[in-house]
C-alpha cells in the first residue's frame, strides 16, 4: 500500500467513447463551492472532450475525497477509460508535511535516546501520530474511492479490465508502474 493514497486503474465498456462521455456528462453537475441543496447528480466537476475531472457529491465533509481524473479512448471492444484517483493537492501537501515532520521527529527522538542510552519508547508518541495520520488519510480515501469506483463503472456501463495496471518488474529488479 502506498504511503499516500493514490489509485490508478482502467475500465472497459462495450459502448462507443461518445456514448460513455454522454453518460458521464449526464451524471456530472457543475462544481459548487457552497451547496445549499442536495445534489441532483452523483458527481460534480467537468467533462471535456474524452477527458474528465470530477469528484463524488457527498452530503458531508471528507477532506480525503478522491479527485478523479480520467481519459476515455476508443478500444476494439468499445471504450477504454483510464482513471486516476488522488487526494486534493492542498490535502496532499498537508499530509506530506504532517507525515514528514512527525516521521523526522520520531527518528530524531529514537536516535537521541539510543545515543544517550535512554529508553527508545519515547519515540512512540511521534510514531503513533504518524500511524494515526496515515490511517486517517488512507482510510478516508479508500472508503470514498471504493464508492466512487462502483458508481463510475455503473454510470459508464463499464467493468474493470482484466489487465488492470499492475506493477511490472524492471530488468534491475526494481518495481515500477506503467
Residue range 6-87+144-166 forms a domain whose CATH class is: alpha beta
Cell 472532450 belongs to: 49
Of the pLDDT bands very low, low, confident and very high (cuts 50, 70, 90), residue 160 is confident
Q: Read off the pTM.
A: 0.80
Q: Residue 160 and residue 142: Cα distance in Å, rounded?
A: 17
DSSP 137-157: HHHHHHHHHHHHHHHHHHHTT
Span 13-17, average pLDDT: 93
| pLDDT score for 1 | 57
- The more confidently predicted of residues 178 and 58 is 58
pLDDT at 116: 87
Domain ranges of the chain: 6-87+144-166, 91-130
Amino acid at each position: 500500500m502506498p504511503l499516500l493514497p493514490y489509485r490508478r486503474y482502467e475500465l472497459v465498456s462495450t459502448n462507443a467513447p461518445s456514448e460513455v462521455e454522454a453518460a458521464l456528462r449526464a451524471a456530472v453537475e457543475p462544481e459548487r463551492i457552497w451547496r445549499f441543496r442536495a445534489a441532483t447528480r452523483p458527481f460534480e466537476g467537468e467533462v471535456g472532450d474524452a477527458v474528465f475531472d470530477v469528484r463524488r457529491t457527498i452530503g458531508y465533509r471528507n477532506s480525503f475525497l478522491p479527485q478523479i481524473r480520467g481519459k476515455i479512448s476508443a478500444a476494439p471492444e468499445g471504450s477504454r477509460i483510464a482513471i486516476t484517483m488522488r487526494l486534493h493537492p492542498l490535502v496532499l501537501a498537508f499530509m506530506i508535511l504532517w507525515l514528514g515532520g512527525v516521521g523526522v521527529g520520531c527518528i530524531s527522538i529514537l536516535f537521541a535516546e539510543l545515543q544517550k542510552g535512554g529508553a527508545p519508547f519515547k519515540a512512540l508518541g511521534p510514531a503513533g501520530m504518524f500511524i494515526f495520520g496515515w490511517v486517517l488519510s488512507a482510510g478516508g480515501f479508500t472508503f470514498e474511492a471504493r464508492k466512487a469506483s462502483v458508481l463510475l463503472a455503473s454510470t459508464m456501463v463499464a467493468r474493470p479490465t482484466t489487465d488492470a495496471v499492475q506493477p511490472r518488474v524492471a530488468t534491475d529488479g526494481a518495481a515500477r508502474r506503467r
